[in-house]
Structure 1
Amino acid sequence: MNAHDTFIDLNAYFARIGFAGPARPEPTLDTLRALHLLHPQAIPFENLDVLLGRPVKLDLASIQHKLVTARRGGYCFEHNRLLRSVLQTLGFRVRSFAGRVLWGREAAEMPGRSHMLLLVDLDEGTWLADVGFGGMTLSAPLALETGLEQITPHGAFRLDDAGGEPRSYVLQALVNGSFTPVYRFDLDPQYDADYEMANHFVSTHPESIFVNNLLAARLAPGKRFGLLNRRLHVHHTHDEGAASESRDLSSVDELRRVLETEIGIRLPEALALDAALARLP
């Protein structure tokens, strides 16, 4: 654990996500579930800094300022480092790992480790916690048990045993009646330096999806909002059979409105952002 990760403003974080429990809740499964539900509904997933050519800083002070004080969002390294610090401050036993993103991939080759996730050890067992996977972000922790369909407020998920040494798992999401791979991870511990290297790749490499595309997402009660460039997707999670809605956003003004309302971002200054939005495919 990085020593700087111990300095977290719990009151500001709880106000940001709308947590109305005690000022210092006990490190229990109920507390973990409450925080895991509220966080991705209040703090959006977004890559505006990358799109604007700005560095994504992973020290806790920068993450707190951006996601909590400035009411922005971020991606996995920011979200899950923030949650990790909150949980550790509350007395949870938290371990950090890395995932290989399978979502949306058709190529057969194994992708690199570009995603951060957490495992939380409780008396009830070990739980996967992850509030930073964009449009398919979990809204509840999952028991680290394979072959078990687990229902969350925003859909059903399952962990499959992928074997290997150290042991590997594949997170699957129920989509249109069948389970679809989200990411693969193993129990090889990751350190902050590992995330710094992965963060540099995803925020600067010309082949990274984050460099030339706008990605933004947020959960809401019964809904998932997802924005890829100019296309907004709204998926209704209260009914597996409900059709998703999609529409194209034709203007910069419309993009800004969706980012501020449906996605819930307090946008940075207008000129640089408007120019970046205008360049979107």
Structure 2
Amino acid sequence: MSFDLDAYLTRIGFDGERVPTRATLDAIAAHHTATIPFENLDPFRGVVNRLDLESLQAKLVHGGRGGYCFEHGLLLQAALRDLGFTVTGLAARVLWGSPDLDAIPARTHMLLVVDLDDERRVIDTGFGGMTLTGTLRLERDTTQETPLEPFRLVDLHGDWAMQARVGDEWRTTYRFDLHPQHPIDYEPTNWYLCTWPESKFVTTLMAARATADRRFALAGRRLTVHRLGGATEKRTIADADEFRTVLTRDFLIDADRIAGLDEAFDRLP
């Protein structure tokens, strides 16, 4: 199946020039993260995410849904290639929330690196609550501004480590190398994350969306809204009706098209 670039750009609300430039790349990152949420409703409901291009477009472009990193990354990769960018898929080891930065977890995250005329840039629209809303120059030890938090890339035993500044602290999101990945390389990990009984994508419901001035994050029944330079709001969702409202209003998910949401909410601790 071919990629429907017009439908994708309409979905994310991008009407700028279709040229492979830094400005276009940054704009795509901002528009994508503001309109297509991170969410794992399918594996939490026992449905395995499909990574073929037809399924990705049906779900994320036409279906009023979001997805997790492999879905975001493969959809975005197809869009950027259609726009004329040279794009390489990579794999990362997630360190977010880990006290041990020397840990070697499995490569369970996807990100992209884009080759422009004079630089290489990282773009990643699928890292949940701390996803990039801009792009980063592939350069170590330089603080780089994004529409939300500052980020930087540092050396970690020869790998690249991405860090975000949260308050006064640099926190590591993940580590990666530059070994290219192909779509088939993500399939076994996708199956594992969607079916392993102890996978956080199976046991925990998550959603996230980032706009120009705030981040929305859902973890189980807890909704958090982080405002840029302002207060953080947290509250607990009371019932399944409010759950549907939050999914629709804050995460732009078409909740009416998803079966079993009431049962999914009842499973939340």
* Shared fold, TM over 0.5: yes
Is 1:208 matched up with 2:208?
no
Q: Which residue of 2 aligns with 1:14?
A: 9
* CA shift digits 1:201-254 (9 cap, x unpaired): 1111122111011100111220000000000111112x1xx3321111121111
* CA shift digits 1:97-151 (9 cap, x unpaired): 1010111223563211000000000013000010000111101110001111111
Please state whether the residue corresponding to 2:150 is helix, strand or coil: strand
Is 1:148 matched up with 2:142?
yes
Superposed counterparts of 1:47-126, under 5 Å: 47-106=40-99, 109-126=103-120
Gapped runs of 5+ residues in structure 1? Answer: none
Please state whether the residue corresponding to 2:231 is helix, strand or coil: coil
The alpha-carbon distance between structure 1 residues 13 and 269, as it changes in their structure 2 partners (threshold 3 A), is closer
Distance apart, 1:269 and its partner CA: 4.5
1: CA distance, partners of 2:262 / 2:199: 22
- Give 2:70's aligned amino acid: F
Q: Is the 8 A contact 2:30 2:211 kept in 1?
A: no
Gapped runs of 5+ residues in structure 2? Answer: none
Q: Which residue of 2 aligns with 1:264?
A: 252
* CA shift digits 1:29-84 (9 cap, x unpaired): 11101101100100011011111111200000100010010110000000111110
Q: Following superposition, which runs of at least 4 residues in structure 1 exceed 2 angstroms of deviation? A: 105-109, 268-271
Q: Is the 8 A contact 2:12 2:31 kept in 1?
A: yes
Distance apart, 1:163 and its partner CA: 3.4
With 113-122 and 191-200 compared, the bigger mean Cα shift is at: 191-200
2: CA distance, partners of 1:11 / 1:42: 15
Distance apart, 1:270 and its partner CA: 6.0
Q: Which residue of 1 aligns with 2:232?
A: 244
**How many residues get paired?**
268
Distance apart, 1:277 and its partner CA: 1.0
Q: Which residue of 2 aligns with 1:198?
A: 189
1: CA distance, partners of 2:162 / 2:103: 18
Q: Which residue of 1 aligns with 2:175?
A: 184
* TM-score for both structures, normalised by structure 2: 0.96
The alpha-carbon distance between structure 1 residues 268 and 202, as it changes in their structure 2 partners (threshold 3 A), is farther
2: CA distance, partners of 1:264 / 1:197: 29
- Give 2:105's aligned amino acid: P
Is 1:218 matched up with 2:209?
yes
1: CA distance, partners of 2:221 / 2:15: 35
Q: CA RMSD in A?
A: 1.3
Q: Percent identity over the alignment?
A: 48
Please state whether the residue corresponding to 2:145 is helix, strand or coil: strand
